[in-house]
Structure 1
Amino acid sequence: MTAQRACGVDDVSVSSAVMVELDGIAVAIVKDSAGDIHAIGDTCTHGEISLSEGFVEGDTIECWAHGSQFELRTGTPKNLPAFEPVPVFPVTIDGDDVLVDVQNPLIND
């Protein structure tokens, strides 16, 4: 795994997201309502909108512009207008650091 530091664990609050750029890729680091941390592509596949500016509820993030929700574990859109998934990246927690591997995205379901 070619993971690199994206942010600190405490940099992301529960039910929120922050955007980081790793190897030129915009990534949303998201802490869901259970406190689990996810890394997904930050750009909505419908309207080129930053997902990290959206709303986190349960295990989804919603694009603020048009309301498409994406599952944090798979990147799969749950509703229209988006129909293409966003990439999901492996996350490792190393002490207080969130490490993300943008070179080996997980396969979308």
Structure 2
Amino acid sequence: MDGDIKIKSEYDHYKDIQSNEVEEDAEEELPHAEVVDIFQEGLAMLVQDPLLCDLPIQVTLEEINSQIALEFGQAMTVNVCKADKDIMPVVVVQNATVLDLKRAIQRYPAKTPA
């Protein structure tokens, strides 16, 4: 009988631990808007890195990966000359398709008037 009581006691202890973990998880839940704000703050800190400082604040994962690939020699900068003679240095991976280049050009930040 002592063995049965010990097993039940350990089982109860396990259930108590699980119950506490569920309560802790419930306390950590955040509204979606707050999670987005935290994520945006993290991205803003990320683009302050010297390797990533050329990226816009609303950076995408693809842009981060392209910039990292550029630093490792796995991507290239394509200088696109616009009709107004502005040059857009667009980063694409070396095996990029024309569609990848087109998307990179569309994401390129527009210059703000001075």
TM-score w.r.t. length of structure 2: 0.26
Larger Rg: 2
Structure 1 or 2: larger helix share? 2
Greater RCO structure (CA 8 Å; 6+ sep):
1
